[in-house]
Structure formats: structure tokens, C-alpha cells
Structure 1
């Protein structure tokens, strides 16, 4: 069965207003939350075999810090198309996945991730928070090309504020 794993980048810094949006780094809280959430995300069944990450600095730092926290040498691909705030772009991107990929992990941005999660699973998640995690289980026979609204169920949803510290 196919699954889609979604991680929203951790909390970013707005300290330096000369930086472009794509260049904004994580703030102190974001760095701490990556360390804190890494094990919860792993324990929830996140698969790290095929990781695709937005080119934004905050998204890249999120997966780097999760990798370090888990003491793993995770490898990921930067996908320019994942620097989006529109769920339709995520649908289009997923429909292009190779069928040999059964559990992509996407590190990206809101509102695209929350909207995509809700549309593909008919869920009512109000917001995937920074460093939040969602796992979507697809119907058995669904190919990536056929990915459509309602094709999955929301299997796991983790919010940092709801996790035990």
C-alpha cells in the first residue's frame, strides 16, 4: 500500500528582513522542535527511503536537523516544484512520481501541505503546524497518475504542541 508522508518545515526566522522568503533560516525554536519531533515522526512510521524537499533554506534545515537527531545519514532530493503554497502543484508533482516509489516523504510549506492533506484524504485538519507530520494511506489500487481527491485516509497526524516533552 502506498503512503505519502508530509512534514511542514520547522519554525523560521523573520529576524533579517533583507532575506528573500526562500532564504529564511530556522529560528531557535524551529531547531529545537526538529530535535524533539524527529523520534516521534520515526515512531509514527515515517519512511525515509525517498525524501523530497523544497529548496527553501528552512525546509532543507528541517530535514538536516531531523537526520542529525536520528543519527542517520539521510539522503534527499531537492525538488524546486515543492517550493509552493498551492496544493494543486503538489497533486501535479505527486502524479509524476515513479510507480516504484511507494512512500515519498515531502518536506514543504503551508497552505499547500494542509490543503493537499485535506483534499487527498477528505480530512478537516485546520493546520499542519511547523514541524508537524501527516501520514496519508492511499487506496490499494491507486497509481500516482490517478491520485485524486479522496484517494487516501489520514493515518497519522502529529503536532509538536500535542506531543509529550
Structure 2
């Protein structure tokens, strides 16, 4: 069994229009959402074995801000290739993980992250499915489980959506 946590970066700022998209920071609302999500992750014992994080500033800040509430020491890989990555690119990263790793988190961007969640989900908790179908907002978390032995087996429809958590629900 493999568990996947897909976390969309928190709300970012458009305050400086001359700033490159890659370098946009979180805004206050995003930091607030991170605190809520970090407390949720900590309170529910969510501890991925590895984190794959987009190298974009807002994704890195999301991890940093969440970590304030979720004191976790986990190997983290910052990947430029996860910046606006397609679902296929994210899936390739996951399929490349060591099979000894039972759970992984991706902190990334839409539309790729949301598209990956939809592509992998074959079944799931009805309320979670309905919530995710309505919207995959910033700082939202999809928790998927896949009855597989190796990450290479992860594919379309092969996972179950166990939970979908949004900051507004916390």
C-alpha cells in the first residue's frame, strides 16, 4: 500500500506585478491557511516519508509555514520540474521513488496537481470526491491510497481518495 498526499500551495500575492511568477510569495491569507493545514496534518498524524516540493517561492513558503505547526523532519526534494508540472511529470517523479518509501507528499500547482488527483482517483469517500470535484483551492490537501507494492504501479484510476481537506473547513 502506498499513500500520496497532494497539497496545493497556499494563496500567493500578486502585489508586485513585475515579479516573475516563480518568485511570487505567499500573501497573509495564504500564511493563515498554512497554519490551519499544518495543525490539521499534525493533529491527524500525517507524516509522509518524503516531500517533493516545487522550487517556486510560494510552494517553498507553503512548506515552511506549514512546518511551523507541523514540526516534521522529512527528506524534502525541491524540484524546478514541479513548477507548473503536468500530471505526467508528477507521476514520473512518483514512479521514480524508492519502493521502501510508503508515503509521499507533493506540494505543487494547479492545474497539474488537481489533474493528477483526478487521474489517479478511481474511487473514494463520497463527500471527499464531491468536495474535490467542486474545487481544489489553494492550500487544499487530497489524501490518496493505492493498493500497490511499487511506485511504478501507480497509474490512472488506481487510487482511492480517502480525504479532501480545505482550509475553509478547518
Q: Identify which of 124, 145, 151 aligns with 1:137.
A: 145
Q: Give the stretch that moved more between structures: 93-102 or 147-156.
A: 93-102
- Aligned residue number for residue 108 of structure 1: 108
3-state SS of paired residue (2:25): coil
In structure 1, how many angstroms separate the alpha carbons of the residues matched to 2:68 and 2:51? 15
* Number of residue pairs matched by the alignment: 162
Task: Tell me which protein shows more strand as a share of its residues.
Answer: 2
Q: Report the 3-state secondary structure (helix = DSSP H, G, I; strand = E; otherwise coil) of the residue aligned with 1:154.
A: strand
Runs of at least 5 residues in structure 1 that lack an aligned partner in the other structure: none
Q: CA RMSD in A?
A: 1.7
Q: Give CA deviations for 1:19-49 in whole Å, capped at 9, x if unaligned.
A: 1111000001001111122111233442243
**Residue aligned with 2:13, SS:** coil
What is aligned with 1:122?
122
Contact preservation (8 Å) 1:8, 1:108: yes
Gaps of 5+ in 2: 124-128
The TM-score, its normalising length taken from structure 2, stands at 0.87
Which deviates more from structure 2 when the two are superposed, residues 95-104 or residues 64-73? 64-73
CA–CA distance in structure 2, aligned partners of residues 25 and 58 of structure 1:
5
**Paired position in structure 2 for 1:81:** 81
**Partner in structure 2 of residue 149 of structure 1:** 156
- Does the CA-based 8 Å contact 1:131-1:159 persist in structure 2? yes
- Alpha-carbon distance, 1:74 to partner: 5.1
Q: Deviations over 1:91-116 (max 9, x none)?
A: 12211111111101111011111111
Q: Distance in 2 between matches of 1:66 and 1:74?
A: 13
For the 8 Å contact 1:113–1:128, the answer to whether it is kept is no
- Aligned pairs (5 A) from 1:34-49: 34-49=34-49
2:167 matched to 1:160?
A: yes
Whole-angstrom distance in 1 between the partners of 2:168 and 2:67: 21
Deviations 1:132-158 (A, max 9, x none): 11111001x342112110111001110
For the residue of structure 1 that corresponds to 2:93, the secondary structure is helix
Q: Secondary structure at the match of 1:114?
A: helix
Question: How far does the alpha carbon of each residue in 1:58-107 deviate from its partner, in whole angstroms, 9 at most, with x for none?
Answer: 00000001111234455522122211242121112211111111101111
